[in-house]
Amino acid sequence: MVESVIERSRSRSRSHECKSESHERVGCRVLYVPPELTGVLIGRGGESINAMCRETGARIEVAREDAGAADRPVTITGSPEAVDRAVRAVKKIVDSEKRPPQEQRKVMQVAGAFVGMIIGRGGENVKAMSRESGAKIEVSRDDGDRDADRNVTITGTAESIEKATQLIEDVIGNRAGASDDDRSDAEALPDPPPGFEVSEHEEWLFNAKTEEFFNKKTGAFAWLNTSTGMFCPIREGVRHDDLELISGTAVAVASSDNKSAPKTVVIPDLHRVAQALKAPFDHVDAPASMIGVFGCSAGDGPGVPVDQAARTFHERLVRRIASWRSAWFDQAWFGALTGAMMDVAGENGVLPLAAVALLVGRKVIAASAPGARACLMAGASSDACTAVVPMEVNGSVCCFQQLPATSPGVADTLCIPIALIAGVSTLDDNVTCASVSRSLFQRRPRAAAVALLRAARQAGSAGPLAAATACLGGRKVLVAEESPDVGRKAVKEKMKQSKVRVRQILLRFWSGKGAQPINPVTRKPITRKVEEAEVQMLDVLDKLLAENSANFACICKALSECGSAMRGGADNGDLGWLDQAKVAALAKAKGQPGGPKSVVQSSVPVAVVKVAFELEKGELSDLVVSELGVHLVQRTG
């Protein structure tokens, strides 16, 4: 008798036997079927039960559902032979639908650093644990990131799963394993590194300076997750020395004394910030940088002041990243950014009007609160560049992009363009991408930021705006001016050069404070604001790039507001030779009284000098802003 069917035979005396009109003997049997199987027994529209009646010659009736009954009675009547056939048919259907009890299954998430301990050499450890526990243990394959957490799937009975779990936790040090007395004398414990002392946790030594734990049995380094009480492996960050971040910002405000003017923040090295905060950060890949734009909320609510948000956001972000010292999943980075925004919002819960991009190793993660916009782009060139599709996380719009690992000499052709804007703007990602991609692929981020503001103005944005653009890509490699066969020697000589010759176009601006500057060429006062000067210089840059700088001298004579514009001919805008040694002496003597008399104030701003020594011969610079105005520089010698 199958377990799913409970049969009760009704013995009837000869006097109670049912007889048909032909006086044949009639049998009657009742089977009790689990209610979940009666639907299969009856079939759609009674199709199954009617077919059984025709095939067996018996009458089969399923009782109506009774809320108080555990099983449903199925009454079978007919000749003894027909009843037997019907009983077998019903049992066959019930048996075919019967499911064996499913094995239980448990999935553990284990840090990548501990996977080798679990598997063992040639799989010895995992096989031994399977034999000892009686459960099946499977470790998921890695996806190329050895530090990422891995899934360990345990299948078996509840008892075997519990035993296997205990064995795995013993291996990774989360549960007390065998005592020291159980070890053979031949087994040597790992030597503790200096700085580690006995802690309240029996198996772990603790270094108060680094806040790290050392397992006396396994030699593993870990940090204690106080929220769960679990020890987690400490990840070692990877340096990507082939990458660099170039960034530029631009701000457009209605007036210079606007206290709620938007702000831009660029933190090129978050590791230094963490060091200043005494926060652990060695688990984070390098380079690690942050760029952000912060604006004033357009609503009437008690939003976070712009200065406060811009001043404190990077600290909140660093502390969040420092609080988890194991490997980070890509989705977790979204939580770090949006969580930092909520930290800045504080008790009032109003998110700051901000767009922030976090760059960690080869990854870029961006998030923007309502009123701001973050756009990441992908593509091998400006013509093929498209915006990455964003997603919503914790009330913010987030996006993610990763730069693939490439061989040397190839990485410098790939990059991730980034665009951020804060303020009332109607730009969509397609317009943003079209506005900034060309300048970013040319590695002129300031020009890209100005182009983004120009596009926002053309789209009807009239209020204060802040834009920041950046590009994560391969480091710029100096190219030898000599023939290719000179090779590395020429590159080294170029890097050692101490003098360069440049020319410039200068457009001055007035901040609205202090003495109004005078154009030395026309002797007229300057009235334009910095936004106007930058947009005008962007138009000049676009024209020179289109003409391969052929009319630099002519444009300089017509527009430049520098005395060098009147030199005449091809020398228009020429600043002469800049000496790196003299510039260094000026920088060292700046602000120091009693310096050598030969050191005089340079007429060339430091920002221009810095850019000059980064240019190739004939190359045009990005837009450069100094205390004099907006510069466009070209190296000529």
DSSP, res 382? S
Per-residue model confidence (pLDDT) at position 104: 84
Per-residue model confidence (pLDDT) at position 277: 95
With cut-offs at 50, 70 and 90, classify the pLDDT of residue 411.
very low
Per-residue model confidence (pLDDT) at position 550: 87
CB 305 within 8 A of CB 363: no
Most confident range (mean pLDDT) of 239-253, 261-275, 379-393 is 261-275
Most confident range (mean pLDDT) of 2-6, 18-22, 148-152, 232-236 is 232-236
Let me know if the fold of 6-97 is the same as that of 484-635.
Answer: no
Helix (H) or strand (E) holding 291, with range, is strand 288-295
Q: Look at domain 6-97 and name its CATH class.
A: alpha beta
- Classify domain 243-474 by CATH number: 3.60.40.10
Tell me the per-residue pLDDT of 89-126, one tens digit each, with 9 for 90 and over: 988 888 776 555 557 888 888 877 677 778 766 677 78
Angle (CA) 566-572-577 rounded to 5° is 115
With 90 as the cut, is the pLDDT of residue 563 above it? no
Per-residue model confidence (pLDDT) at position 189: 67
Per-residue model confidence (pLDDT) at position 102: 59
Q: Look at domain 484-635 and name its CATH class.
A: alpha beta
Residues ≥6 apart with Cβ < 8 Å to 303: 296, 297, 348, 350, 352, 353
pTM of the model: 0.67
With cut-offs at 50, 70 and 90, classify the pLDDT of residue 566.
confident
With 60 as the cut, is the pLDDT of residue 627 above it? yes
Range 167-190 average pLDDT: 55
Q: Does the domain made of 104-177+189-233 have the CATH classification 3.30.1370.10?
A: yes
Tell me the per-residue pLDDT of 540-553, one tens digit each, with 9 for 90 and over: 999 999 998 888 99
What are the residue ranges spanned by the domains of the chain?
6-97, 104-177+189-233, 243-474, 484-635
With 70 as the cut, is the pLDDT of residue 179 above it? no
Cα dihedral value 485, 491, 496, 497, nearest 10? 80
Range 403-412 average pLDDT: 57
With 50 as the cut, is the pLDDT of residue 396 above it? yes
Pairing relationship of beta strands 230-233 and 243-252 according to DSSP bridges: unpaired
Which of 98-107, 184-193, 344-353, 358-367 comes out lowest in average pLDDT?
A: 184-193
